[in-house]
Amino acid sequence: MLAETLLVARKDLRVEWRAKIALGQVAPLALLILVVLAFALDANSSLLELGAGGLYWVAVLYGGTLLIQRSFDVETDDGNMDAFRMSAIGAPSLFLGKSLALFVQIGLLELVLGSGIAVLYNVRVADWWLLLVAAAAGTVAFSVCGVLWGAMSAGLRVRATLLPLLLVPVLVPILLAGSRAFETALGVRADAGWTWASLMLVIAAVHTAIGFGAFGFLLEEG
Amino acid sequence: MTSVTHSNAKMTATATTRVLGVLAIAATALMTVLGLLISPADVIQGEAVRMLYIHVPSIWIAYGAFVLTSVSSILFLRGRKRREDRGRHYDRLAGSAAEVGVVFTGITLVTGMLWGKVTWGTYWQWDARLTTTVLLFVTYLGYLALRRLPADPIVRSRRAAVMALISFVNVPIVHYSVDWWRTLHQKASLSVGRRPEITGEMYWTLLYSTLAVTIVAAWLIIHRYRVIRLEELRDEETLAALISSRLDKDDGSN
């Protein structure tokens, strides 16, 4: 199962490496979102410093949704879903492999955005461990949710609009928990940052369990 | 599907549902009398407390409808290899229950906002209960959107069933949000294993309202189920008629 998982993840990352969509298009666009959000707040530096955690996760939400969309467009445009059905790769391995590939891509996006808020919003990190754990937990949760909902809308004609509609309400708790944990890590809020980071891990665990059990149903044809 | 089945199913009403419908109207009328005239005003909330007689039962019914959606979805997925009507039965039940659940979640939100305007002085607060309820509402709207997509009916139903299971995760989050987070929203008025927050006539009116709203919801779910079944029959007959006319045309040209 581990070999199959790594095989699928490697395949997705190789496709991405050749196309360079994540770093070439999505990351610059997400950085642009950080700039636009700063304009929306009248470039008020103290306000930006206070809201940096939330704004960061909003940018991740936007860029991550695009990456999830692309992760499944690649499969459906070339009829790869049929190939997966025909192959001996199990649905749980496929689910984990695609989640792992998305984890790497969203992680890279977060590195770019992290540098972005450090420079643009002038934030200082008060608790590096909390920041890293919260970012990792949020990325895992984001990836597994993304793969589940991406598969849900894959191959449908209206998937471009359907995916955000289905995905965003599910991602809002991650966004909320991530914002709170980051605010604590950045020293702008004396709150239970570790509790919020744990909540993201719980969300990730629940969706991973559902993905393990239900991903096969999403792959089946009529 | 045979034409006999179709002719038997051209209406959504039967003798039983007509009785249920009359019962629903009578129960709603009595609920109105109890809630507006007989039950007293609250010492703190005043007349605004009457809103709770529709607000609290609505969210309970919504939870119940979403439980029904989830259970039906599991049964649909378990029997997915069968193509006969029984498998579709669970899918229809899941869809009709979700629609009714969404309607009652909407009623909960509207009555809650009206109650909030009177009690808190504002229609909306970024409170954990309110925010999670909106998320629940939007999630199930997404579920209904997925059910209406132009796609293979079996594939669509299967994906909708998986989505129903994931969406249900929100239900306990909404319910326990008032316990898990510090919120402006009051604790649950009625809760299993805990002393009720209200007593006397208010308590009985709230219990009765829950019963009345349950009857209305059951009536709605049954009718919605039958409408979905009729829509499926219409689609099948339309397709059969189109194929038949095409075959007749081909025969004529030969």
Instruction: Please write the tens of the pLDDT for every residue from B94-125.
Output: 999 999 999 999 999 999 999 888 888 888 88
**Domain limits of chain A?**
2-219
Chain B residues with beta carbon closer than 8 angstroms to that of A155: 151
Cα-to-chain-centroid distance, residue A21: 15
Q: Using CA atoms, how far apart are residues A62 and B101, in angstroms rounded to an integer? A: 30
Contacts of B155 in chain A (CB under 8 A): 220-222
**ipTM of this predicted complex?**
0.77
Residue type for A131, please?
A: L
Q: How confident is the model at residue B5 (pLDDT cuts 50, 70, 90)?
A: very low
Quick one: closest CA in A to B81, which residue? A222
> What residues of chain A, 145 to 204, have a C-beta less than 8 Å from chain B?
148, 152-153, 155-158, 162, 165-166, 169-170, 172-173
Q: Is the dihedral of CA B111, B114, B120, B123 positive or negative?
A: positive
pLDDT attached to residue A55: 92
B166 touches chain A (CB under 8 A): yes
What pLDDT digit, counting tens, does each position of A130-165 carry? Answer: 999 999 999 999 999 999 888 888 877 777 788 888
Say what the pLDDT of residue B4 is.
39
Q: Does B80 contact A at CB distance below 8 Å?
A: yes
**Structural tokens at position A179:** 């914002």
DSSP string, A33-81: HHHHHHHHTTT-HHHHHHHHHHHHHHHHHHHHHHHHHHHHHHHHHTTHH
Phi, psi values for residue B70, rounded to 5°: -65, -45
Question: How many angstroms separate the Cα of B43 from the Cα of each of B40, B49, B109, B206?
Answer: 9, 9, 24, 17
Q: Of A27-41, B90-104, B185-199, which has the strongest mean pLDDT?
A: B90-104
pLDDT of B12: 78
